[in-house]
Homo-oligomer: A and B are copies of this chain.
């Protein structure tokens, strides 16, 4: 057992504890501090960073935003904006704006990926026909086998690699 229990009883965690609980590395947490994303509640007499439990939450929050595609710098702006608007409604309005934008962006990304998935499926369907392709025919001539896909056209994903 480590010293975590005694620290925990004082509800103070060292950087390593935070790291273990969030799956992040110590270095990452240091970085977040450099960027102003998370400061320790206090420092021990010897200079150790001591965090409260909400430090874990903050990091999970950061992780969430990262997953959403925010960069650490954007997250920093996020916090700054928050701190600057004195009233709750005003701050909330800004956050709402950012979230709305990101939601739109996320949906666009989903749409794009969906199209790509369709294209992949299409290409895979086309490639099915190659199973029975004449062994003697080399791939450089692929697409000229006359057995083109459903729409009688070689998908770009396949065509691009075959030629040359």
- Measured in the bound complex, the distance between the Cα atoms of B106 and A65 in whole Å is 20
A61 to B138, Cβ gap below 8 A?
no
Interface size for A (C-beta < 8 A) is 63
Distance (whole angstroms) from the CB of A95 to the closest CB of chain B: 6
Contact of A68 among B120, B127, B138 (CB under 8 A): B120
Query: A-B pairs with the 5 shortest C-beta distances?
Result: A61-B160, A92-B130, A88-B139, A103-B120, A91-B139
- CB of B156 within 8 A of CB of A64, answer yes
Interface residues, chain A, with chain B CB atoms under 8 Å away: 54, 57-58, 60-62, 64-65, 67-68, 78-79, 82, 85-89, 91-93, 95-96, 99-100, 102-103, 106-107, 109-110, 112-114, 116-117, 119-121, 123-124, 127-128, 130-135, 137-139, 141-142, 145, 156-161, 163-164
Q: Could you tell me if B135 and A89 are in contact, using CB atoms closer than 8 angstroms?
A: yes
Q: List 11 A-B contacts (CB under 8 A).
A: A54-B163, A58-B163, A58-B164, A64-B160, A82-B161, A88-B134, A88-B142, A92-B131, A96-B124, A99-B124, A103-B124
Expressed in whole angstroms, the Cα–Cα distance for A93 and B58 within the complex equals 46
Q: Give Cα A133–Cα B103 distance, bound, in whole angstroms.
A: 24
Q: How far is the CA of A103 from the CA of B57 in the complex (A)?
A: 34
Q: Is the CB of A161 within 8 A of B78?
A: yes
